[in-house]
Amino acid sequence: MISDSSMPYSAPTLAPGADDDQLLHVSLGPQHPSTHGVFRMNVVLDGETVVSLKPVFGYLHRNHEKIAEGVTYLSSMPYTDRLDYICPLSNNWAYAHAVEKLAGIEVPERAEYMRVILAELTRLINHTAFMGFILGDMGAWGSALMYAFRERELILDLFEDLTGARMMANFMRFGGCRNDLPAGWAEKCSVLVDDYGPFLDEMEKFLVGNEILLARCQDVGQLPKETLINGGITGPMLRAAGVNYDIRKAEPYGIYERFSFRIPLGDKGDCYDRIMIRFLEMRESLKILRQALDQLPEGEYVNPKAKIRGFKPPVGEAYARIEGPKGELGFHLISDGTVNPYRYRVRPPSFINLTLLEDMCLGLDLADVVIILGSIDIVLGEVDR
Amino acid sequence: MSVDIGAALQGIHAALPAAKVAMRTNPGPSNQHSLLVGNESLVDVLRFLRDHLDFDLLSNVSGVDWPDPAKADAVAVFGEGEETAREHGFLEVVYHLYSTSRRVGPLVLRARSADRGENACVPSVVSVFRSAEFQEREIFDLYGVIFTGHPDLRRILMWDEFVDHPMRKDYVAPDDYEYEPTPHDDVLVKAKRHYPAES
C-alpha cells in the first residue's frame, strides 16, 4: 500500500509576490443552513477579493460505489435515490439505462413514456427548488423557497401516488418501471402540467426584473465556452454559456426523438443566464410533458422477459448517461458475469461541475462566491457519494 | 451517435506512429469497444483526439482495480505483451470522451499501471482536460493510482490522515465496531470478537 505521508495537505497557494500579511484565510463552512449541503471552501481573501479558493469535499462520503460492488445490481437502485436526493427518478433512470445497455434489455413503449414523464417532472422539481435556493443565497430567505416548495409538493404528491414515496422512489426497474400508473394518475398529472405555466409566470414576474437579482447576478461568474467544455461542465451551466449540448438531443435516449422541444441557450453564461436558462428549460419540459401525456400508449410497464431474481448481465462493460437536471449523469458498469457488478461508477454532474468553481470566483468578492456556488446547483449527496 | 473507433485508431496511428495503442473488444452487448493506450503516449493521444478529432469533452474518468490477473482474463480485458501486469495485477483508469460539436461518443480509452504497489502510476491528463482534475484526485484517493504530473494530488473524499485506499478489492475495513443491541449472523461473530467480555 502506498504511504500518503509524501502527500501532505497543501495549503492554498498564493500568487507570487502576494503579501501574505494582508491576506485573510477564511474557512467557509462546513454548514448546512438548508441551502446546498455540507460543503467547505478554503478561501483566501485580499480585502473582499478572492485570491484562492479550494473546495473541501467528503462530509457526506459513504463510498456508494464500494457498497454497490457488494450487492446485486437491483439492490443499488434504492441507493441511487440518495445520490441527488432532489431528483431520485432521474438517477433511477440513468442507472436502469446503464444496466439495460450492459445487458441488452429492451424497454416497452409505455415504460419509456412513463420514464420521460417522471424525468421531466423531476426536472421541474429540481429547477423550481433551485429558484428558491438561489434566492435564499441572495438574502431573500424563505419566501422564494416557500413558493417553490409549494409547487414542488404538488409534484411530490404525484410521486407518492405512483411510487409510495415522496422522494426515495426506487421506481425504475431494468426493462421498465416497478408498477403501472394508478387509475387517474395521468389526468392528475395533466392538471398539474396545465397549472404549472401560470406558476412559472408568477415566479418569473417576481424575479426577472428584480433589482437585487440583477445587481447580484449579472456579469458574475462567466467563463469562456472552451474552458467550460474542457472543464467537463455539463447541463444548464454549459448551455447558459451558449453551447448547444443537451444529451436529449445530442445522443437521444429513451424516446426523446419523438418530442418537439427546443434547447434554450444563454448568451454570456453569467449567473443571471444560469437562472433564466432554467426557467426556459422548465417551459420546454412542460411541452414535453404535454406531448408525452397526450401520446401515452397502453401496454406493458416492464419488459416481462427482464429477469429480476438472479439477474446476471453478460461479461462486458457499458457507459450510459442521461441529461439529468443538473447535467450529464452517467453510470459506468463492468460486469464479470456474476450477480454483483465488478465496477460501478457514478459520473456525478454536481461533482464535476465544481471543477471550475475556483476559476469562476477568482477576483470577485466573497459575496459573489455564494451566488456562484448556488448557480452551479450542487447536491452534496451526489458530490460526496 | 456511436463512435467509429477504427477510424480513431487509424487517425492516432497516422499522427502518432510511436504511440502504443491497441483495440480492446468489449464482449458485452453494449458495443463500446475501447483503446488501450500506453502510459508514455497517453497525454499525446488525448491531446491529438482533442485538437484533431474534436473529442473536446472528457466526460468520465473511472478507476478499476484488477488484483487478480485470472479475473482480468475472464473479463477479456487483457492484451498481449503484458506479462508483468498479468503476474501482479494492476490498476486501470478508463476515460470516456465525447465530441460536443460532432455529437459522437463515447470513445473509451484505458490506461494501466505497471502494478498495484510502488509503480501504481498513470500520467495525469489535467494538462489536456481540466475535467480530470477532481476525478483523478478521487481515483488517487480511493484506488491509490498516482497521477504523475497532477497539479494538486491529494485526497478528496476521505480525510487527509486516512491511510489505505478503500475502493481496492483487497481493502479490509477497520474494526471500529459500533455496538449493536441484537447482533446476529456475521455481525454476531464480529461483536464477539470486539466485545469478548460481554458475549
The string of pLDDT tens digits covering residues A310-339 is 888 888 889 999 999 999 999 999 988 889
- Answer yes or no: is A9 within a domain: no
In this structure, the answer to whether residues A167 and A194 fall within a common structural domain is yes
In this structure, the answer to whether residues A238 and A171 fall within a common structural domain is yes
pLDDT of B85 above 90: no
Closest residue in B to A343 (Cα) is B64
- Answer yes or no: is A7 within a domain: no
Please tell me the predicted confidence (pLDDT) of residue A3.
38
Q: Does A351 touch chain B (CB under 8 A)?
A: yes
In this structure, the answer to whether residues B43 and B103 fall within a common structural domain is yes
In this structure, the answer to whether residues A331 and A293 fall within a common structural domain is yes
Report H helices in B20-88: 42-52, 69-74, 83-88
Q: N- to C-terminal Cα distance for chain B?
A: 61
Q: Which domain holds residue B35?
A: 5-168
Calculate how close chain A gets to B104, using CA atoms only, in Å: 8
Q: Which of residues 230-289 of A touch B (CB under 8 A)?
A: 230-234, 243, 245, 250-251
Please tell me the predicted confidence (pLDDT) of residue A35.
63
Closest residue in B to A105 (Cα) is B29
Q: Which of residues 110-129 of B touch A (CB under 8 A)?
A: 117-118, 120, 129
pLDDT of B8 above 60: yes
In this structure, the answer to whether residues B65 and B132 fall within a common structural domain is yes
Beta bridge partners of A327: A324
In this structure, the answer to whether residues A44 and A88 fall within a common structural domain is no
What single-letter amino acid sits at A236? P
Interchain CB distance below 8 Å, B167 and A316: no
| Mean pLDDT rounded to a whole number for chain B | 83
- Answer yes or no: is A350 within a domain: yes
Looking at the 3D structure of chain A, how many domains does it have?
2
Please tell me the predicted confidence (pLDDT) of residue B19.
80
Q: What is the pLDDT along chain A (385 residues), one digit of tens a residue?
A: 333 444 444 445 555 555 566 788 888 877 765 566 788 888 888 888 888 888 888 888 888 999 999 899 999 999 999 888 888 999 999 999 999 999 989 899 999 999 999 999 999 999 999 888 888 888 777 788 888 888 899 999 999 999 988 889 899 989 889 999 998 999 999 999 999 989 888 888 888 778 888 888 888 888 888 899 999 999 999 999 989 999 998 888 889 989 999 999 988 888 899 999 999 999 999 999 999 999 989 888 888 888 778 888 888 889 999 999 999 999 999 988 889 999 999 999 999 999 998 888 888 888 888 889 888 888 888 888 8
In this structure, the answer to whether residues B101 and B180 fall within a common structural domain is no
Interchain CB distance below 8 Å, A243 and B135: no
In this structure, the answer to whether residues B69 and B125 fall within a common structural domain is yes
- Answer yes or no: is A353 within a domain: yes
pLDDT of B164 above 60: yes
Q: Which positions in chain A touch B165 (Cβ < 8 Å)?
A: 1-2
CA distance A8 to A27: 18
Query: Mean pLDDT over residues B115-141, rounded?
Result: 89
Q: Does A209 touch chain B (CB under 8 A)?
A: no
- Answer yes or no: is A10 within a domain: no
In this structure, the answer to whether residues A142 and A286 fall within a common structural domain is yes
Contacts 24+ apart (CB under 8 A), A54-59: A54/A12, A54/A358, A55/A354, A55/A357, A55/A358, A56/A29, A56/A30, A57/A351, A57/A383, A57/A384, A57/B156, A57/B157, A58/A384, A58/B155, A58/B156, A58/B157, A58/B158, A58/B159, A59/A30, A59/A380, A59/A384
- Answer yes or no: is A3 within a domain: no
Closest residue in A to B71 (Cα) is A336
Residue A335 DSSP symbol: E
In this structure, the answer to whether residues A82 and A37 fall within a common structural domain is no
Please tell me the predicted confidence (pLDDT) of residue A13.
56
Q: Which positions in chain A touch B117 (Cβ < 8 Å)?
A: 1-2
- Answer yes or no: is A253 within a domain: yes
In this structure, the answer to whether residues A47 and A71 fall within a common structural domain is no
In this structure, the answer to whether residues B100 and B185 fall within a common structural domain is no
Query: Mean pLDDT over residues B90-110, rounded?
Result: 88
CA distance A365 to A50: 6
In this structure, the answer to whether residues B164 and B177 fall within a common structural domain is no
Q: Does B56 touch chain A (CB under 8 A)?
A: yes
Please tell me the predicted confidence (pLDDT) of residue B83.
54
Q: Which positions in chain A touch B129 (Cβ < 8 Å)?
A: 230, 232
In this structure, the answer to whether residues A97 and A26 fall within a common structural domain is no
Q: Which positions in chain B touch A7 (Cβ < 8 Å)?
A: 153-155
pLDDT of B198 above 70: no
CATH number of the domain at A117, please.
1.10.645.10
Which of B75, B78, B127 would best serve as a mutation to test chain A binding (most A beta carbons within 10 A)? B75
Interchain CB distance below 8 Å, A4 and B167: no
Looking at the 3D structure of chain B, how many domains does it have?
2
Please tell me the predicted confidence (pLDDT) of residue A6.
40
Query: Mean pLDDT over residues B98-123, rounded?
Result: 86
In this structure, the answer to whether residues B108 and B186 fall within a common structural domain is no
In this structure, the answer to whether residues A220 and A121 fall within a common structural domain is yes
Q: Which domain holds residue A28?
A: 20-56
pLDDT band for position B26 (cuts 50, 70, 90): confident
* C-alpha cell of residue A104: 441488452
In this structure, the answer to whether residues A313 and A243 fall within a common structural domain is yes
